[in-house]
Structure 1
Amino acid sequence: MIRYKIVETSVVSDDVLETLVNEWVGQGWQFDRIQFAMSEASKRPAMAFVFFVREEAGPRRD
C-alpha cells in the first residue's frame, strides 16, 4: 500500500525546502514533488506543498 505525506510551508526558500526534504527522506519517505501556490501580489510563491510517498505493508486485496 502506498502512503502519502504532504508537508505545507509558508516560508518558500531553498534552505527551508532543502531542510524539509532532508528531514522526511531521513525518516524513510521518498520525495515525490513540490507544488507551489502563487500570489497575484508577488512573483514568488506564497506557499509550497512538499509531497512524499512510501510503501507500507497493508491488507491484501485478492
Structure 2
Amino acid sequence: MSKICVLSGKKKNNGYQISHSHIRTKKKQEVNLQYKKIWSIKKNSWIKLKVSTKVIKSLHKIKI
C-alpha cells in the first residue's frame, strides 16, 4: 500500500541527512500515517481511513 494520506494527500518528502562534517546524503521523510476509524456524517457510519497525524489533530474542521 502506498504511504499517502487519504484526506490531505500528503506523501513522502525528499531531504538531506547532514553529518557533523557537513556531508549530505539523500533520505526520504515519511509521513506519520495512522489507521483511524472516523464517523462519517454524510454516510452516517464509521469508516476506516489511513490519515496523517496532522489531519487527526484538525478532524473537527473537516466535514467528511
TM-score by length of structure 1 reads 0.26
In the superposition, the TM-score normalised over structure 2's length comes to 0.26
> Which has the larger share of helix?
1
Q: Which has the larger radius of gyration?
A: 2
